[in-house]
A and B are shown apart, each in its own frame.
Chain A
C-alpha cells in the first residue's frame, strides 16, 4: 500500500549541524539533544559555530484545567495542557522558524489517590515533551534554511 521504511526516504533536515542553546532545564535539553541527533540525524554542537543554525529559546509550560466533575461536585478528570516553543535562527542570527506546539492529555483524578496522581501527572507531561520534540523535528524539516539569509 505504498508504505516504505523511512530510512529509504528519511526526514531530511535541511542542515547537518545545529547549535542547541541550553534552556536550563537539564532533562529538556538532554531530550532535545537526543531527538535531534538520534531521530533527526544531525550533529548537535556544544558551542555556536559560524555556519551552523542555532536552535534556541526552548520553553515549556504546563497547565492543569478542571475537565469533569461527578454529581458530588468532586473533580473526576483533569486536562493537562503542555506547551512547547522553540526558535530556529540562521548562523547569521536571522529567525527562520518560530513555532509553538501545544498538546493535551486527560487524566482521571480522585482526591483519595493524590500522591499517586501527582506522579502520573508528571509522567504524562514527560510523555508530551517527547511527543512535542518529535513534532518539532518534523517542522524543522521544513525550515527555510536552504535559501541564503540575504535572499530573505
Chain B
C-alpha cells in the first residue's frame, strides 16, 4: 500500500471493521448506514442494533433499537446509542449494563461513556449481585463509576436490600476495588453493657500517599459523644501515628481523654523513637475500650529512646516511665520502676584473633525511680569470653565471665539502710551437644529423625543479695529457654548461685523432600550439684534444698495433613504432680473448617487468683451452603466460670455478607462485658454494623472471614 499519512486521531485498536446487516447504503470512505439486525465488529468492540449510521472519518456512531455494546469487560444493552468509537465518549439510553467483567451491573435511563473506564449514569441502579432482588442494589439519581481511580459516587441514593429500602443517602462514595479512599467510611453500630448502644461514623481523609487521617465521632447512648482522631505519617527518615480520644462522659460526668503517640526517626546512623500512651482515669479502657486485649491493659508506657549500633558496638539511651491504672481498688497493681535514664553499651567481638573466641561485653547504667519504693542507680558490667568448638555433629562451648554490679541507693523508703553496695560474681558455663540422625518413614512419607542430646553446666558462687533492692528482677517461666540460661531470674538484681547440670534431649522429624520440620519432641531436667539455693527475689534467705528441677517435656508439630499439636508438660518430681501443662490440638481440613481444643493448667504462681486451670475450645464450621458457625468457649475450671464466650453465625451470599456475633468476657472485679456485633456488608458499597473480624481472629485460631470462603451461590461473581 502507498505511504500512509499518520492518522490524526487513530483509534488504538487498529484493524478492519466488519458490518453485517440486511441492507447497507453509504458513501465510500465517508458514511455508512446499515439496517436490519446490524452487527458491527471491530477489535475490542462489538455493536448490535436494528439500525446504525457510522461516520468513518470522525468514527462517530449512532445506533437505534435493541442495542448491545460489548467492549473489554462491558456488556451494555439499550435503545439508542451515540458513541465515538475512538474517544469512547458517548451515551446510551434505557440501558441495562454489566461493567468491569461483571463486578457492576444494573439499569439506567442514560449511561454516559465519559472516556475509557469512566461512566456516568442517570436514574440508575447499581449492584454487584448476579440476582439483585435476592441481594442488594443502589438506586441513585446520579451515579459515577470511575475505574481509573476505582471510585464510585452516587447522589440522592437509596440502598435497597432484598427489596427493602435500607437507607437514604444524599451522597455516598465507595471504592470499586476495595482500596480505602477518602470519604465517609461505612458507619458501625454496636452495643456493650458499658456504653449501651453506640454508633460511630468514621471519616477517612487520604491526605497524601504517605499521610492519612481518620476522624471518628462515636455516639454512645449511656455516655455521650466521643471524638476520636487518628493521624498517620510516613516520611523517608521518620514515621509515626497519633491517636487522640476525648469524651465528656454523661454517666460519670467528667471529661475523659486518651492519647497515644508512636514515633520513630533516624538521624544518619542513630535510631530514635517516642512511645507515649496516656489516659485520663483508671477505668478508661474498661468503660470505653471495646476489645478484651484493650480492656486488660494496665501499664501505659511513656518512653523516649535513641540508639546506634555499628559492627559489634551498640549503644542506647532510654527514658521510660509507666502510668499504672488501678481499675480494681481491691486488687492493686504494683507500679513498675521508672528508668530515668537507662544507658546500655554492648560490645561483641566475634572470632577474636581469627579463631572462634568471642568477647562479649554487656554494660548498663540505670537510674530507677519509684513513687513508694526505694530509688537508686545501678551500674552493671558483664564482660565474658566464650570459645565455640563445633562441627556438624557436635559442639562444645565453654564461657567465662564476671558479672559486676554497683548500687547507689537513696535514703528514702530504704528499709535496709544500705546506701551503696557492689556485687561481683564470676560466672562459668559450658554448653555441649551431639547430633544423631536416622532415616525413617511414617505414613508413607520419608523423614530424617534427629536425636540431639545436650548438656549445660553453670557455676556461679553464692552472694547474699537479700539487702539489695529489686528494681527489675523476676522469676522467669520454667521453659527450655530458661533451662539453658545462667540465671533463673530475669533482670540484673538477682543472680542465682549455681552448680548445676541441665540435661535435655530433642528429637525432630524433618521432611526429606522439603527439609521442613514436621514434629519436635523434647524432654529435659536440671540437676543441682549444690543442694541449697538461697538467693530469692524478696529479702528472705531461707535456703531451699532441691536435688533436681521439675521435668519439662514438650511435643509440637503436624500430625498428618490436617492435625496440628502443641503441648508442653512440667512435672514436679518432689511432690509428684503436674506443675504446669498446656495442650492445643487443631483440626483444620480446609479454610472455613477449623476446630481447636485447648487445655491450660499452671500451679506455679503463688497467688491463687493468678493460677490457671482452663479449657479453650473454639472453631469455625460450615453449617449450610454459604452459612458458617463460629464459636469460642474459654472456661476456667478453677473458678467454675467462663472467661470468654463467643458465638456467631456468618452468611456469605457472594455479593453480600451478614455477620452476627455475640461476645461476653470477664473484666476486673468479676464483672462481665458483653458485645454484640451485627454487620451487613455489601461488597465495598456499604456495610452496616460493627465488624467482628479482629475479635474473631484473636479468639478462634485459623478463623477465615466469610467473604473469603465458599459463597451460597458459587455462580455469584466475586466482587
Contact = CB atoms under 8 A, between A and B. Distances in A.
B348 to A, nearest CB: 7
Interface residues of B, number: 86
Contacts of A69: 292, 296, 643-644, 665-666
A139 to B, nearest CB: 4
Contacts of B666: 69, 71-73
Contact of A41 (B295, B392, B515, B636): B392
A9 B698 CA distance: 44
Interface string B675-708: 0000000000000000000000010000000000
Contacts of B667: 73
A3 B348 CA distance: 37
B296 A74 contact: yes
Which bracket fits the contact residues of A? 35 or more
Contact of B474 (A39, A74, A106, A116): A116
Contacts of B471: 115
Contacts of B348: 27, 30
A72 B668 contact: yes
A69 B135 CA distance: 41
Contacts of A140: 515
B491 interface: yes
B545 interface: no
A4 B312 contact: no
Nearest to B470: A116
A104 interface: yes
B293 A71 contact: no
A87 interface: no
A1 B393 contact: no
Nearest to B325: A111
A110 B473 contact: no
A94 interface: no
Interface string B333-348: 1101101000000001
Contact of A10 (B296, B393, B475): B393
Contacts of A111: 298-299, 324, 333-334
B490 A72 contact: no
A77 interface: yes
Interface in A14-68: 26-27, 30, 34, 38-41, 65-66, 68
Interface of A: 1-11, 26-27, 30, 34, 38-41, 65-66, 68-77, 104-108, 110-117, 119-120, 123-124, 127, 135, 138-142
Interface of B: 292-293, 295-296, 298-299, 309-312, 314, 322, 324, 328, 331, 333-334, 336-337, 339, 348, 350, 356, 388, 390-395, 434-440, 449-451, 471-477, 479-481, 485, 489-491, 510, 513-517, 566, 568, 582, 600, 602, 604-605, 609-610, 612, 614, 616, 634, 636, 638-639, 641, 643-644, 665-670, 698
Closest CB pairs A-B (n = 6): A116-B474, A7-B393, A113-B474, A115-B472, A112-B334, A139-B515
Given A75-B296, A116-B489, A142-B514, 15 more contacts: A2-B439, A6-B435, A38-B388, A68-B634, A72-B669, A73-B295, A111-B299, A112-B334, A114-B322, A115-B471, A115-B491, A124-B479, A127-B480, A139-B515, A139-B516
9 contacts: A4-B436, A34-B350, A66-B292, A66-B698, A77-B612, A104-B566, A106-B568, A108-B605, A116-B474
